[in-house]
Amino acid sequence: MTAASLQSRFRSLPRELALFIIASFAIGMAGSLVDSSLNNFLNDTFALNGFQRSFLEFPREFPGVITVFVSAGLWFLGSRRLGGTAMIFAAVGIFLIGFTSSNYLMMVVFLFIYSMGNHLFMPVSTTVGMELAADGRTGRRLGQLNAVRNAATIIGSFIVFIGFKFLNFNYQTSFTLAAIVFLVAGVLMFMMQPKRSAAPRTFLKLRREYSLYYVLSVLSGARKQIFITFAPWVIVTIFDKPTQTLATLYAIGGIIGILFQPLLGKTIDKFGERFVLTTEAVALVFVCLGYGFSSLVFPENTAFLITCVCYLLDQMLFSVSMARSTYMKKIALDPADIQPALSAAVSIDHVFSIGIALLGGVIWNEFGFQYVFLMGMLIAFTNFFVARLIRLPVPPQATPAPVMPETR
């Protein structure tokens, strides 16, 4: 596809979808600017050990626990303006993190604000993406939007790599750029046509009919923590790699994701959520083996390459969360249940996510990092058997018209 045809195709998109695509691109780029440098910032500035790094996940992940309550309190904004507000939180938080490097407690406060913005946006992103999808093509639309974010990840990671290697960037520079881009995303979300929202009848309503979705969300939160906290910490501390290494991995992962995300969305639509989630669980067993034990079996350079491959595969599999969202949409008894259920799932999975972070930090310090990934394998096995329980409601069959006897 040529640049001209791509531009023509983009101009033909509905206004709301075009705005959301650009906002998604900005969010992916800003997130990459942060994620490529945050772990090195923490290591270089505060010299945290394994447990101290995992303990930092409490203020970082606690916003996810209270997302359902904050979202309910801001119901009057509607999903799109709530997304814009979330991006303002993220921009303010990450900007201030860059200028609190000498004060650990203030950094924790601003990390909480930044994380609040990110976690508020999580259910909004999925809800708006599904609103903008045609019937029967929800997975494809979410995959396309994730591919856009992956393309942006490449740019953000490239900026970090070039900036730190050749342009004398420091962490303040990286975080300030991220704040500006988050603000751009917030403006774009506010430009979208707002959708009216009904006042919630309760802050947190869990329905028995969605219990399997909640269990899948718990396992997702536990699995997610292994990727977010401990996988990059292996690269930064066990292999002693600089900021440019994670930036390079993010860029490579973004390139892979451009192709993988739409394919994943189509796979969900064609083969279903059970197939995708069970396949993810099997792959994660091998990823955890690579993270935890490659350094014990292979020479350092080989072990590092295996760890990088595991990191890229893990980054790809992280996007399988869209299968849980499409599953929720398919089993929803009422379309109005979807965003509250997504918000509730964010809160539920983060309760367990925090627990896994703290437990993983203790295990890392007391027994070694390999045992953290043994725990990850146990989570993957559990996820496999739970995903096998997925059953989708059968659509009602049309009643055939009665056959009239022939008349002569």
Q: Which residues of 265-276 are buried (b: 16+ CB within 10 A; e: fewer)?
A: bebbbeebbbeb
Amino acid at residue number 126: T
Does residue 291 form part of some domain?
yes
Does residue 281 form part of some domain?
yes
Does residue 129 form part of some domain?
yes
Q: Which residues of 79-117 are buried (b: 16+ CB within 10 A; e: fewer)?
A: bbbbbbbbbbbbbbbbbbbbebbeeeeebeebbbbbbbb
Does residue 395 form part of some domain?
no
* Neighbour tally for 191: CB within 10 Å: 15
Q: What is the CATH number of the domain that holds 366?
A: 1.20.1250.20
What are the tens digits of pLDDT across the range 216-268?
888 887 877 777 778 887 887 888 877 678 778 877 887 887 778 778 888 88
Confidence of residue 403 (pLDDT cuts 50, 70, 90): very low
Does residue 199 form part of some domain?
no
Does residue 204 form part of some domain?
no
**Overall domain count for the chain:** 1
What are the tens digits of pLDDT across the range 296-347?
888 888 988 998 898 888 888 887 888 888 888 788 777 777 767 777 777 7
What are the tens digits of pLDDT across the range 75-116?
677 778 888 889 999 999 999 988 876 677 888 889 889 989
More confident residue, 72 or 399: 72
Residue 227's domain spans which residues? 13-193+210-387
Residue 181: pLDDT above 90? Answer: yes
Does residue 148 form part of some domain?
yes
Measured distance CA(149)–CA(32) in Å, rounded: 9
Does residue 6 form part of some domain?
no
Helical ranges in 368-402 per DSSP H: 369-387
What are the tens digits of pLDDT across the range 225-238?
777 778 887 887 88
Average pLDDT over the chain, rounded to whole?
80
pLDDT-above-70 percentage for the chain: 86
More confident residue, 202 or 274: 274
Residue 277: pLDDT above 70? Answer: yes
Query: What are 398's two structure tokens?
Result: 């049309």
